[in-house]
Structure 1
């Protein structure tokens, strides 16, 4: 019988399938804790904005989109209280998170999170909330930000290997292929566990593949973008080449820099501003073209802080080819937060399915390997 015929009808007889089974088994066992942690934390973070809103200090002014302090007002009020601190990033309030969010660092490199009242601009120190802890766990595994995302991306690469080998192992042969789509709850628990692993793996295959692929991208985005570009040339999803900053130590007023950003993106609404303390020579303004926080439709404006020149504008929402679409979809399909509550629920439930896949896989390892070894 030829290789293709055996693959079609009796795939378990193939030595390559047995080899892939060993890879799938041991990669899953070694990474089981990682997969469960990433799965559970990711499901929680689908609702990160809603949960963040519940952690804000009591006593803040009620959010009114028509009466919100400006970023320059918030920054000026902050520096009156904290002369020796610099703001790295400030994000405007939204209905879901009704307070300014400030990422601040003090002399010595101490990083502290602040929130500011949406109306008065008064800032308040906020310790690391449990939502931020879960976020850091999911993004960088609580490791140093300089290498945590890369370590996480290696784990995502192994998950990608599990997905690809799992596709091969799932195939039971042409005559019995539908068996892998459902669960026989009338069978014994070992068979139910086996069916659950197969069925969940099949029905979540596309989404788990994308989570793994995009997870690799987040840690090694330049390398992944280069591979995508080689297959499907990038046009707009390649960051624009920026003009050189002047290097002058003179700084324009922050109000003027905000005005430059608004003039550069007439349809955009300022959502966040990096370097609002103007310590560095360049400021990045995120200008949202639709709802606030909708990163799918955003202009990213790079501005020289010394003379107000626009160094570059990245129209992030423009897509001109298949390669652009692939990179543009990395974040929305990974997070599942941009298309309403129904999609969020589906993404969160699918995240839990990844943990269930891991647990059923460990039970299969117990049934096939450990239980037999211990019974000898």
Structure 2
């Protein structure tokens, strides 16, 4: 167990450091976006008698301004005084476009190639390597889970001495403090680190995990419904206003929050009806439409699960990110995320103290003797 923990830890020390730091940063993704681009989020002052801008008008403006590009998603302002947000893409390149909520004009856009925050997102989720990086991330998460399992076995010091591993004695030498710190931080963060590792594996390979859970309890309510969209071909879209009205009638207690647009002529238009906060996608009704016929295809009440299997799968995402429970939980999640780089650094120092430092001392002594011999000769 010790050897597995040691060598897996050495192999993953840089990965763990990067994932921990970037994860702690991304807990505050929304706040950082607003701070980085303050001029894009806030709408201009409303003019007296000016009608409110709606989503169909925003879509028309974006299509005229960015010809040849496809709209992926559009979100209504998440609070009063903010702008509409629209994602457009062409091939693998996309832009984040802001529409003034009071005038309907383009307020500006974000080029992901020049955004440090999007770079951090890509580093955390895909290690800057696309699908290959995503798979490597899943493998790294699986080995992190192995580190958690072997770590708790190594940490256990027996019934008489197990409480020693819960604290750090600052009166000892720095080597002992580093040793105690590694064990104590590992123990107190074991559950959340194991959860992050497991959910990291799930995000890369959800189907095998869901298939296993589904053997004992249905996970159907945690996933979008299945339906067939007739090929649209060159048919024009049905009236978007009418589909929005239909979605509001299907979810009368929710607020219209935005839309996911079809990526092909066999994909549905998804209208988002927020049951809670506008950007809380885990408490959202997803209303699916055939964009050509304007016919409602399905309704998914995400976050409402009637089986323990559905609840288990549903909670994996909000638990991993910690977005949905306010600032206090965000601060806690960010602080706990710092445990990963702390464990990585303290683990490397332990390896130095146990092995590499002694080898370095012997090498220096051997080099010194060789130099002295050369001088004497």
Query: Normalised by the shorter chain, which TM-score bucket?
Result: 0.7 to 0.9
Cα distance per residue 1:319-375 (max 9 Å; x no partner): 223222211211111111211111111111000111101111111111112112223
Q: Is the partner of 1:240 in helix, strand or coil? A: coil
Cα distance per residue 1:25-74 (max 9 Å; x no partner): 1111111111111111111111111111123362742599xx86322111
Cα distance per residue 1:140-195 (max 9 Å; x no partner): 11222x44433211111111111111111111111100011000111001110011
Asked if 1 retains the 8 angstrom alpha-carbon contact of 2:43 and 2:101, the reply is yes
In the alignment, is residue 22 of structure 1 matched against residue 3 of structure 2? yes
- 2:43 corresponds in structure 1 to 61
Asked if 1 retains the 8 angstrom alpha-carbon contact of 2:230 and 2:266, the reply is no
Normalised by the length of structure 2, the TM-score is 0.87
- C-alpha distance 197-245 of structure 1, shift in aligned 2 (>3 A): same
Summarize the alignment of residues 283-298 of structure 1 with structure 2, pairs less than 5 Å apart. 283-298=269-284
Normalised by the length of structure 1, the TM-score is 0.87
Asked if 1 retains the 8 angstrom alpha-carbon contact of 2:170 and 2:177, the reply is yes
Of stretches 226-235 and 306-315 in structure 1, the one that deviates more from structure 2 is 226-235
Structure 1 residue 278, shift from structure 2 partner: 8.1
- 2:22 corresponds in structure 1 to 41
* The one of 254, 257, 265 aligned to 2:240: 254
Question: What CA distance in whole angstroms lies between the structure 2 residues aligned with 1:162 and 1:226?
Answer: 25
Asked if 1 retains the 8 angstrom alpha-carbon contact of 2:84 and 2:99, the reply is yes
Summarize the alignment of residues 168-179 of structure 1 with structure 2, pairs less than 5 Å apart. 168-179=153-164
Summarize the alignment of residues 21-170 of structure 1 with structure 2, pairs less than 5 Å apart. 21-56=2-37, 58=39, 60-62=42-44, 69-95=53-79, 98-106=82-90, 109-123=92-106, 124-128=108-112, 129-144=115-130, 146-170=131-155
- C-alpha distance 341-110 of structure 1, shift in aligned 2 (>3 A): closer
Asked if 1 retains the 8 angstrom alpha-carbon contact of 2:63 and 2:69, the reply is yes
Asked if 2 retains the 8 angstrom alpha-carbon contact of 1:181 and 1:202, the reply is yes
Structure 1 residue 235, shift from structure 2 partner: 4.4
RMSD: 2.3
Question: What CA distance in whole angstroms lies between the structure 1 residues aligned with 2:16 and 2:198?
Answer: 14
- 1:10 corresponds in structure 2 to none
Question: What CA distance in whole angstroms lies between the structure 2 residues aligned with 1:273 and 1:147?
Answer: 29
Summarize the alignment of residues 212-231 of structure 1 with structure 2, pairs less than 5 Å apart. 212-231=197-216
Question: What CA distance in whole angstroms lies between the structure 1 residues aligned with 2:302 and 2:231?
Answer: 27
Q: Is the partner of 2:231 in helix, strand or coil? A: coil
Summarize the alignment of residues 218-367 of structure 1 with structure 2, pairs less than 5 Å apart. 218-242=203-227, 244-249=228-233, 250=235, 251-275=237-261, 281-367=267-353
- C-alpha distance 288-157 of structure 1, shift in aligned 2 (>3 A): same
Q: Which runs of 5+ in 2 are unaligned?
A: 363-377
Asked if 2 retains the 8 angstrom alpha-carbon contact of 1:102 and 1:114, the reply is yes
Q: Is the partner of 1:291 in helix, strand or coil? A: coil
Q: Which has the larger radius of gyration?
A: 2
Question: What CA distance in whole angstroms lies between the structure 2 residues aligned with 1:347 and 1:192?
Answer: 25
Structure 1 residue 121, shift from structure 2 partner: 2.8
Q: Is the partner of 2:300 in helix, strand or coil? A: strand
Q: How many residues align?
A: 352
- C-alpha distance 288-228 of structure 1, shift in aligned 2 (>3 A): same
